[in-house]
Structure 1
């Protein structure tokens, strides 16, 4: 789990930070630099965590059984049930709408299919995610 400072920020400061982050990410996405932007900003653990969450949301939208998602992605049932509840109340609707409008939707499904058919790589070790890029 990523480390989060125990020092709390004021809500106003936090909202400004979110806003600036959103603007920076949006600019990088328009210039097709989002991959590098996130690569510089996130640790490997955070990237994997985000990728798994993204996959969970996408698979829930395709009515893939929860037990299959948990086994295939190696996520806990508590994480999956929490995300499933948020999905059910429409929490991820804007993300799903973006996915539906995205021309690269086939690429996303292809990557997820690789993961689901082959299973996830071992939890430890160098290069364990290389199979995604082959």
Structure 2
């Protein structure tokens, strides 16, 4: 096997995603193994791992599969060897800016949720009787 390719188990370990999750992303077209071994095993490259890491980072922010697909289409086009025409490039960058704004807003929303959860946990802790120090 080519050393540039990894089997799904190694990819799962590197991305901290389950085999099942990686297969699901494959079924939905978010990531496609770059090759197959002679035995039919999925083979992935560093680019595939990077793509899965983008997906993994979007998931906790609540992005849908369609939103993930849309962002990946934008980044694929921007990263392509073929430079998009200036009008298309600006449209792609606008879409990318929209994703960046959405991600920043979702991070802020999560910070607010975390703060409220910490306040709640502290309130519960205050209700518990304090045991005397030994």
Normalising by structure 1, we get a TM-score of: 0.28
Structure 1 or 2, whichever has the larger Rg, is: 2
Normalising by structure 2, we get a TM-score of: 0.28
Structure with bigger strand share is 2
